Structure 1
């Protein structure tokens, strides 16, 4: 198969996988890619990056300008939450950081504390509604632990506050979708983005195969 033909097939699978994610038929990239390949009768699996690009295109096609007003709103909401949780070194991550939000996105914020109950106490005092609190492994091998606090916001948006240990504050981690370092935004960095370019994106360029 020619390189051009292979690229075309990869994009077909990536597009199908992205549709599965966008319509919430699948939640994880791996399962979405495998199901997409089976549906199309192909044995080619695109990278997570390629699927993310197609997901971005689908969101543009389906949501138009509303998508960008959503991004600004969610970044402003994130800033309020981060200011509320300033004692816990908050960092904005996920699609609201990246600038790739779609209608299914929530606000993801890492905070750092040796006692997750202190974070819950601050949220409760603020009047925000906690929907649930869950425990999840930190690493892919199941080791470590993070506490996930799911919060309902007045706008109807949702936020997920991930409580991690203090020693993880300066830990360098690679993104399993884009392959770059997950830097995120601190409170001051987010303020600067909202002031200078509220639609700024933080997505690396993909290396062409």
Structure 2
């Protein structure tokens, strides 16, 4: 007697019905590769301090095969998938120390934001969302007429810094964004300087594709005082 095997595809997973009459899930090769790359990229960010999702993704992909082949189609994970794996690692290894570390970094961020008040600072990134590791830096957005204005302010206070201009492509245009790097007792502080008019233009998150979560000093002060989780507002 011949039995016909039925195969259905649901969200990248093959469901096979055999003689047993029960479905058996088989994950596609592409999904296995994507998960492996996501886990390795998260490990690189967690253990080795790789800061950018793009860099972690490329470095992880090279460990699983030719980068050109892995850069095609569905082989590479999204930033959201890597972020999810990173949060899993943090929850697995950092549960006991996370609250103290998060409070310490948020207090440092608040102190810096109060010092940089003339530039309407906004906190973004892991220190705001709570997914901090031992390698996490503090990410601030500043708003000024020019990066020279910020540099003059820092020099006036005797604060050492490094300047880097990062060119980003939006559509068919290229935009230069000055980044000022500070050191706060061993913690890297990255300040991205935007034009004054951009304070009401919220950039998209590289993780979710939605407007980026960011907080003013007032909002951060409330989070620190009340020990709250960030709610994405303000």
Place the TM-score, normalised by the shorter chain, in its bin: 0.7 to 0.9
Question: 2: distance between equivalents of 1:187 and 1:129?
Answer: 23
Deviations 1:34-90 (A, max 9, x none): 554554467632221011111122233344422332211111111111111111111
Equivalent residue in structure 2 for 1:133, among 163, 188, 195: 163
Question: 2: distance between equivalents of 1:118 and 1:38?
Answer: 41
TM-score where L is the length of structure 1: 0.81
Greater share of residues in helix: 1
Measured on the aligned residues, the alpha-carbon RMSD in Å equals 2.8
Asked which structure has the greater CA Rg, the reply is 2
**In the TM superposition, what are the counterparts of 1:1-209 in structure 2 within 5 Å?**
1-2=13-14, 4=25, 5-6=27-28, 9=32, 10-24=34-48, 28-37=52-61, 39-40=63-64, 44-130=75-161, 132-140=162-170, 143-153=174-184, 155-198=185-228, 200-201=229-230
Deviations 1:103-157 (A, max 9, x none): 2211111110112222223333444332x1111125456622221111111x321
Alpha-carbon contact 1:97-1:185 (below 8 Å) kept: yes
TM-score where L is the length of structure 2: 0.73
> Which structure is higher in RCO with an 8 Å CA cutoff and minimum separation 6?
1
Question: 2: distance between equivalents of 1:34 and 1:137?
Answer: 19
Q: Gaps (5+ residues) in structure 1?
A: 204-209
Alpha-carbon contact 1:52-1:177 (below 8 Å) kept: yes
Say how many residue pairs are matched.
200
Runs of 4+ in 1 over 6 A off after TM superposition: none
Using a 3 Å threshold, how does the CA distance of structure 1 residues 39 and 134 change in structure 2: closer, same or farther? closer
Greater share of residues in strand: 2
Question: 1: distance between equivalents of 2:132 and 2:191?
Answer: 17
Using a 3 Å threshold, how does the CA distance of structure 1 residues 152 and 32 change in structure 2: closer, same or farther? closer
